[in-house]
Amino acid sequence: GAETTATSFAASIEAIRSKLPESLHHPQVGIICGSGLSGLVDVIKDVQKIHYSEIPDFSTSTVPGHKSELAFGFLGTVPVVAMLGRFHPYEGHGLSSVVYPVRVMARLGVKNMIITNAAGSLNPQIPVGTIVVIQDHLALPNLTGMNPLLGPQVSKDLPRFLPLSDAYSTTLRRLAFLAAHRLQLDDSALAEGVYAWVSGPTYETPAEGRFLRKAGADVVGMSTVPEVLAAREEGLNVMVLSLVTNFVVIPDSYPSIREEVKAELAGLKILRAEPEVVSHEEVLLIGKEKAKVMRELVQAVVTSIE
């Protein structure tokens, strides 16, 4: 809900635990599955799903490729809770609703959060299909008055001025690269980079893509950062894995329409290449192809957390 209170947490947790066996009351790892990446549920043992509509104060996801279920169960011997489908501000969810499940997971006992997403690449060295271990972020909304942590805090025990210099756990990031080694993934399968958070739902213009690249971002997406902020505020360790589903088109120059018209008036014909455009279908397709690698990686990291 918009004004999150201790009572809403208690009601959500009560509703969740009442539907689960004791052994799943205290998940240790929370996982958020990004666009097309909910297939993780297939490797969760003894899985128990709860639809978001059954949990007080949970919203429901409206995006194709996103379900609206919490999945509880085990990866190896580790009790986990996975969000199959997340909330984005562009759907109209308030920022406090977007991060509400993260706060619930923290109150259920989660200590480590693994967050996945689909993202566009801004870096020519990071091709489509690469999984990027996020090392830092650039949150444009945070710099312009749309920080998800604005407003009254859900608990006075949480830090008011949250430092973010260590937001992305080096311990968990090490586990990702160790897992990639154990899984014998190609060196190019996993990269490191900076995630730029934008609100969407529009994809970037070429000028915006160029701007983000110049500002130091390697990938760009419309999710994740609100969840990272809430998780850090709640004291959780965080790792983010971005699956690159498309390149953000950043042409070096624009075709000059003036020159084209001039040439035409002079009786010449100029062939202009149509610019590439990105689509949600493309994003979901790559997610489907690479979901297996993402799944194995998440599973390997979770089972290696101490």
Q: Which residues bind ligand HPA (CB under 6 A)?
A: 118-120, 203-204, 220-222, 245-246, 248, 278, 283
Residue closest to ligand HPA, measured at CB: 120
The alpha-carbon radius of gyration of the chain (Å, integer) is 21
Nearer residue to ligand HPA within complex by CB, 120 or 193? 120
Select 220 or 240, whichever has its Cβ closest to ligand HPA: 220
Which residues form the catalytic set? 35, 66, 88, 90-91, 118, 222-223, 246, 280
- Which DSSP letter does residue 53 get? G
Contacts (Cβ under 8 Å, ≥6 apart) of 245: 35, 118, 119, 120, 128, 282, 283, 284, 285, 286, 287
Smallest distance from ligand HPA to CB 132, Å: 12
3-state secondary structure of 52: helix
Nearer to ligand HPA, 74 or 203 (CB): 203
Other Cβ atoms less than 10 A from the Cβ of 229: the count is 24
Look up residue 67 and give its two tokens: 């379900």
Q: Do 263 and 270 form a contact (C-beta atoms < 8 A)?
A: yes
CB of 189 to ligand HPA, least distance (A): 18
At closest approach, how far in Å is the CB of 278 from ligand HPA? 5
> Whose Cβ is closer to ligand HPA: residue 16's or residue 219's?
219
Q: How far is the CB of 52 from ligand HPA (least distance, A)?
A: 22
φ, ψ dihedrals at 243, nearest 5°: -95, 120
